[in-house]
Structure 1
Amino acid sequence: MAEDRGNTLFGEIRRMARTSGAVGGIAARVAGERFLGIKTDKAAHAEDLVSILGGLKGPLMKVAQFLSTVPNALPEEYASQLASLQANAPPMGWAFVRRRMGTELGPAWESRFTEFGREAAAAASLGQVHRAVLPDGQRVACKLQYPDMGSAVEADLRQLKLAMGLYSRMDNTLQHDDVYTELSERLREELDYEREAAQMRLYEIILRDQPGVRVPSPIEGLCTKRLLTMTWLDGRSILTRLAEDPSQEERNAYARALFHAWYVPLYRYGVIHGDPHLGNYQVRPDEGGINLLDFGAIRVFPPSFITGTLMLYEAVRDRDNDKAAHAFEMWGFKDLKRETMEVLLRWARFLYEPLLEDRVRRVQETDDPQYGRKVAEEVHAGLKRVGGVRIPREFVLMDRAAVGLGSVFLRLKAEMNWHQMFHELVDDYAEAALAERQATALREARVPAAA
């Protein structure tokens, strides 16, 4: 097709030239300030990043989205600008929309709707969303993929591989080969909106008994590889609501809903939503409820991995290093030295800490906003001291989701009994029962096998 001509090596070369030059220039200026003392304008850099990443609409923007969810991960000037990428990337015009809709649904596509918004209602990294109404009166959202996304992903992955290779020459503490494999497969899967529709059905099945969480439903017959039509959910940005200073009770209700949205799928079905940036959930008009959105980055774990996750919790709780060694092995860490495992346990204790005490508390009780970063730096230094570690691919989205979701709980200033909510999910855990639930749900949702 004419629109796919850019999905070639030439498209990838163009993409790499644009990202390498622009992002590299900003990186050079930042490095100049950090290492040479050359003062630069962080606000201007942040605006440049928004322009570059928002215009590219590829996986690099997803990196920015993730960083903007973690408090103090970036200078404030960067974080505030990058947060605008959550749902406000520059939209594509009506001419593109008409052409692509005709490609996906045929020349008479407009007859499938009684209304179709010409202006994008939302825009994100791989596509943009239009409001529409079906002939039966149902309101829907049509997510249409931007053109040339295949070459965008491949070019970003080539650049990511190059960057990882260069970084490993300077610091091989974390060996990233399996991480790259995992990210590559998940990003390529995100291009397939039929897969995303199936994963959306999976989350409908998993969360149907969770009243605080709503998931959109894909519309049969109006979904293709590059078009995802789903029910429209009313909601608004969680950051907008927090700026209005809601009550502690309301903050806790959002936290409870988000906890269930992420951890019921994980501990009951072995499934995780691996993209916890702030644009992927909204607060609903009914106080305390949330909408969970965007099901492209979904990871299905083998049941044994979930068993290892719970075993590691028990090992941290009981200070049992032998059990910890077995748990890390189940997670995919191979041939761990005792000193390496002890450093990894420092990170595990940081992540599991809110679950250990049976009382109401915040996720992080220290007043130091840099606490999480300091722990990460300590762990990195420790791993470097003991010779580094190879990160297993199963660890990637698990760690990303835990850190990203934890940062949201921090922003919410939620005060919860995390221990109690966790044990309500896991006290009757049995690996065989999880395996059976997982297989049934995947079959019912028609989720294709992973790459």
Structure 2
Amino acid sequence: MPPSDDHPKPSMSSLKTGSLERSIALTKLGVGAGAKLVAHSIANIFRGEIDRSSADREFYQRQAQVLADELGKLKGSVMKAGQMLSLYGQYFLPEEAVEVLSELQDDTPPVDWKVVAPVLERNLGRSRLRELEIDTTPLAAASLGQVHRARRRSDGRELCVKIQYPGVADAIESDIRTLSRLLLMTRLTPKGLDITPVFHEVREMLYREVDYESERHYTEEFAERLADDPRFVVPEVFGEYSSDQVLTTSFEAGSHVRDETVQKLSLARRNALGNAFLELFLTEFFDWGMVQSDPHFGNYRIRVGARAGEDRIVLLDFGATRIFGRGFIEGYSEIVAGALAHDRERLRRGAQAIGLIAPGFNTAALDAFFGMCEAIVEPFAEAGDPRVAPALHNAKGGYKWGESDLPMRSSRIAALNALSVHFRVPPREIVFLHRRLAGVFIMLATLGCELSGREALLAALARVEAQR
């Protein structure tokens, strides 16, 4: 959880931690939102059926902000669950609902020190706490906890102390049930679609993110695997100041990717950073089967060096790390390889192997699916590929990530496919993998990179093939 770049927000003096009071707040919110949405016209919430007027869009935007603000005040698992549902929601919810859920970002108001201090004392003990000088104003506040900067008195070492909000783990089951009812009350899910598996996945992910012991393990694992790669910095874990509700690491300085110091770097240096970021993702998935699946910009910092070759990417927050099985990796590799080579039979075999499409897909549905897959690999196509607009490649064949509208085009294709009778909610692995993949694209676009990732991707696919 990174330092926030926003202006400080007023802190909250208390949290609704009881299941009853949280359920009442959520139900009240759901009834109000549902009534307004239904009154506005239930027929107008399904994408693609009619063109919305400017007034319609403004209405839903206002509703999105109200919902996001109110859920943000509740903190805890319901807000994080809303974020996760926005990932799945793009496949089966109307765009207004996705907008509501996507508004739930981890930049909510912090809570008062008096709320989290007892958690720290209970987990570490008073004698251990006396070794630290802790800034009671948080560096960052999110849905499940907040981070405070600290200094170890014995040697002046700068630390980050991540503290879980009290009661969030205990409220997960109740929050999931209530949020499920909220979706039903607002009548936003397509009739007949069973979203139980979606909530099972959200529940599992929530329990993973409140497991600070697991996050500690993955932080240490990434640090070990990247120890010899000077392009990356992973914080050091301080076990003596950590527990299942507290995680203390070294403080690692760096700038936001949008910071002027980063944006003013030469294209060559920005390309080097983008290439490192892309190669890290390819290594995580195809080689390790272990992916940090939360691409929030706050989870990365850029440490600008004195000269070219000395810039570093600081990696933060490994609570959303996911493990992928070799069978899934091999099937997904077939999809990517098939899309790159225009080999639709290979693409089909890979997609069926991981349950992305069913054997009964008709020709039209398959063509739409193939088209979507081939569009997604656009940045890895050869220069001169007729499927890629010539303006998206520079003179050296580098893909102009910042000038591409590929994410929007892909979303439109996915939205149209979602209306097909052959549509199914994709495997959970796909949702979180593509979450990170989208983050890679946005990172390279924000850096204004002009580079081809084709060779790196082909090398990763070859490594998978060699392991079969």
TM range (shorter): 0.7 to 0.9
How many correspondences in the alignment? 411
Q: String of CA shifts for 1:64-108, please: whole Å, max 9, x gaps.
A: 76879xxxx989xx89x959x44x421222222331111001132
| Paired position in structure 2 for 1:58 | 76
Residue 17 of structure 1 pairs with residue 24 of structure 2? yes
Tell me the equivalent position of 2:191: 170
Q: Say whether the 8 Å CA contact 1:282–1:290 is kept in structure 2.
A: yes
Q: Which amino acid aligns with 2:381?
A: L
Aligned AA (1:276): P
- Structure 2 residue ranges without an equivalent (≥5): 1-14, 46-51, 88-93, 384-396
Contact 1:207 1:265 in 2 (8 A): no
Q: Which residue of 2 aligns with 1:409?
A: 444
Contact 1:308 1:327 (8 Å CA) reproduced: yes
Using the alignment, how far apart are the partners of 2:33 and 2:238 within structure 1?
42
The alpha-carbon deviation at position 299 of structure 1 amounts to 0.9
1:258 corresponds in structure 2 to: 277
| Displacement after TM superposition at 1:420 (Å) | 2.2
The within-5 A match list for 1:9-48 is: 11-22=18-29, 25=32, 32=40, 48=66
1:130 aligns with 2:148: yes
Q: 1:169 to 1:47 in 2, by over 3 A?
A: closer
Using the TM superposition, give the Cα deviation of residue 162 of structure 1 relative to its aligned residue in structure 2, in angstroms.
Answer: 3.5
Alpha carbons of 1:261 and 1:371: their partners in 2 closer, same or farther (altered >3 Å)? same
Q: TM-score with structure 2 length normalisation?
A: 0.76
User: What aligned pairs does 1:380-395 form with structure 2 within 5 A after superposition?
Assistant: 380-381=418-419, 384-386=420-422, 388-395=423-430
> Which of the residues 243, 268, 274 maps onto 2:293?
274
Q: Distance in 2 between matches of 1:399 and 1:120?
A: 31
Q: Which letter does structure 1 place at the counterpart of 2:337?
A: E
Q: Deviations over 1:378-432 (max 9, x none)?
A: 2223xx243x225323222112222233233333332111112323434333564
Q: Counterpart amino acid of 1:154?
A: E
Question: For the residues of structure 2 that align with 1:42 and 1:178, how far apart are their CA atoms?
Answer: 27
Q: Which amino acid aligns with 1:170?
A: K
- The residue number in structure 2 matching 1:337 is 360
Question: How big is the shift at 1:361?
Answer: 0.7
Deviation at 1:369, TM superposition (A): 8.0
2:127 aligned with 1:108: yes
Segment drifting more, 419-428 vs 193-202: 419-428
Q: Which has the higher contact order (CA 8 A, sep 6+)?
A: 1
Can you list the C-alpha shifts for 1:102-129, whole angstroms capped at 9, x where unaligned? Answer: 100113232232x211211111221111
Distance 1:275 1:322, change over 3 A: same
Partner in structure 2 of residue 311 of structure 1? 334
Sort the Cα spacing of 1:244 and 1:311 in 2 relative to 1 into closer, same or farther, 3 A: closer
For 2:435, which of 384, 389, 400 is the aligned residue?
Answer: 400
Please tell me whether residue 300 in structure 1 is matched to residue 323 in structure 2: yes
Task: Provide structure 1 residue ranges, at least 5 long, that are not aligned to the other structure.
Answer: 434-451
Distance 1:74 1:212 in 2: 38
Q: Which residue of 2 aligns with 1:448?
A: none
Percent pairwise identity? 25
- Give, as a single letter, the amino acid of the residue that structure 1 aligns with 2:369: L
How many Å separate the matches in 1 of 2:127 and 2:37?
51
In structure 2, the CA distance between the partners of 1:422 and 1:27, relative to structure 1 (3 Å rule), is: farther
Contact 1:251 1:288 in 2 (8 A): no
In the alignment, what sits opposite 1:354? 379
CA deviation string 1:9-46 (max 9, x = no partner) = xx233223323433664576577396696565777656
After the TM superposition, which of the residue ranges 28-37 and 351-360 deviates more from structure 2? 28-37
**Are the counterparts in 1 of residues 257 and 263 from structure 2 also a CA contact under 8 Å?**
no
Residue 142 (1) aligns with residue 161 (2): yes
**Corresponding residue number in structure 2 for 1:371:** 409
Q: Deviations over 1:206-228 (max 9, x none)?
A: 32333222111211222111000
SS class of match (1:216): coil
Distance 1:133 1:120 in 2: 14
Q: Deviations over 1:249-302 (max 9, x none)?
A: 343233223213322211111111111112211222437422111111111111
**Equivalent residue in structure 2 for 1:90, among 109, 122, 126:** 109
Q: Which amino acid aligns with 1:124?
A: A
1:202-241 alignment runs, 5 A limit: 202-241=221-260
- Indicate if the aligned counterparts of 2:372 and 2:410 stay in contact, CA closer than 8 A: no
Distance across 2 between alignment mates of 1:401 and 1:28: 35
State the distance in 2 between where 1:248 and 1:419 align. 19
Moved more, 367-376 or 206-215: 367-376
More divergent stretch after superposition (289-298 vs 388-397): 388-397
Report the CA distance shift for 1:162/1:252 in structure 2 as closer, same or farther (over 3 A): farther
Q: Residue 287 of structure 2 contacts residue 463 of structure 2 at CA under 8 Å; is this kept in 1?
A: no
**Helix, strand or coil at the partner of 2:291:** strand
Per the TM alignment, residue 367 of structure 1 is displaced from its structure 2 partner at its CA by: 5.5
Match of 2:462 among 398, 419, 427: 427
Structure 1-normalised TM-score?
0.78
Contact in 2 for aligned 1:253/1:289 (Cα 8 Å): no
Structure 1: how far apart are the matches of 2:192 and 2:410?
Answer: 21
**Paired residues of 1:346 and 1:379 also in contact (CA < 8 A):** no
How many Å apart are 1:142 and its aligned residue?
Answer: 0.6
SS in 2 for 1:373: helix
| CA 120–274 in structure 1, closer or farther in 2 if over 3 Å, else same | same
Task: Out of 336-345 and 199-208, give the one that drifted further.
Answer: 336-345
What's the secondary structure of 1:170's corresponding residue? Answer: coil
Q: CA separation of 1:52/1:406 partners in 2, compared to 1, >3 Å: closer, same or farther?
A: same
Alignment match, 1:436: none
Mean Cα displacement is larger for which, 193-202 or 357-366?
A: 357-366
Aligned CA-pair RMSD: 3.5
Segment of structure 1 superposing worse, 335-344 or 146-155: 335-344
